[in-house]
Amino acid sequence: MASTTMTMAKALNEGLRRAMEKNPKVLLMGEDIGRLGGVFRITDGLQKDFGEDRVIDAPLAESAIVGTAVGLAIRGYRTVCEIQFDGFVYPAFDQIVSQVAKLHKRSEGVYTMGLVIRIPFQGGIGAIEHHSESPESYFAQTAGLRVVSCATPNDAYWMIQQSVEHDDPIIFCEPKSRYWEKGEVDLEGAPRGLFEAEVRREGRDVTVIGYGSSVKTMLRAADTAELEGTSLEVIDARSVAPLDLDTMARSVQKTGRLVVVQEAPHTASIGSEIVAELTERCFYSLRAPGLRVSGYHVPYPPSRIEDDFRPSVDRILDAVDRTMGYDS
């Protein structure tokens, strides 16, 4: 079967299964990922099929999970660590930025850090504090780490396999609010490069760039804008460290206008970096300043008002109207 329809959660599960079938040194480690299959059931059935020595139920100690994965990487294993929720990654922060990101350079290439740290991130599920955060900027700023995010089931299926096979450590951000949405998955095709952006919709008036859960919101905004006579080009960044600035710049040079969308607060963020880089590269093509649509610079709010915090179709269209309002 060349293609099929599945949820993002199932696509991640199948991608992990395929990676484990191809390489017996691929291990999974995390809290409740074995018998339970993880809180989002991403690893459902994998311990039963591959055994407890390859799908390991770890104690509630993120620093120990990542630290153990570092040792395993030195010995040639490829460990996929699951962080149960985005806000739980901070106990492992020192291990990630001080060991995972630096051991390859510190050892002058003797050791590679072929490990993946999976983080369900962003909001939209009505969760409590520490369960709806966007920590990607912390890791993108750290030299030695790669940071990617899937937005579709097809990308989830292929990107998790590509990440497992990569010799650099990967922070793999999964938009938890999209886990249960279905999409077409090409099981046999050639995947896009892991660090390449993708134009999800072509347009002529404004370039709109985002990643993770924001991609679907941007596409909905593009549908609405089209009804009002404005054509949006929607780009899924897919990788936030490194950024595929060449793809983004080609679009901005065509449209002359830029809006970046993210759930994280705008200060010192991925959106800030995209606007700054594209302003440098495309200064003489821009007809208006680049704008950001983001979460606000406050702690993530209670679930009853999270929709006011997250970027919406209306907020994206407001930014589009503002950038279109500048004189040509």
Residues annotated as part of the active site = 131
Local structure of residue 214 (DSSP, 8 states) = H
d(Cα 250, Cα 233) in Å, to the nearest integer?
11
Q: Is the dihedral of CA 12, 18, 21, 26 positive or negative?
A: negative
Cβ distance 319 to 259 under 8 Å?
A: yes
d(Cα 176, Cα 327) in Å, to the nearest integer?
40
- Alpha helix locations (H) across 130-269? 136-140, 153-165, 214-227, 245-255
Main-chain phi, psi angles of 42, to 5 degrees: -70, -35
Main-chain phi, psi angles of 265, to 5 degrees: -55, 150
DSSP of 245-284, one letter per residue? HHHHHHHHHHH--EEEEEEEESTTSHHHHHHHHHHHHSTT
User: In the structure encoding, which two tokens stand for residue 320, read together?
Assistant: 């589009």
Q: Which class for 59: exposed (0-12), middle (13-18), buried (19 or more C-beta within 10 A)?
A: exposed
Angle separating helix axes 8-22 and 153-165, nearest 10 degrees: 30
Which residues on neighbouring strands pair with residue 185, listed in sequence order?
Answer: 4
The HSE-up count of residue 314 (CA atoms within 13 Å, CB side) is 4
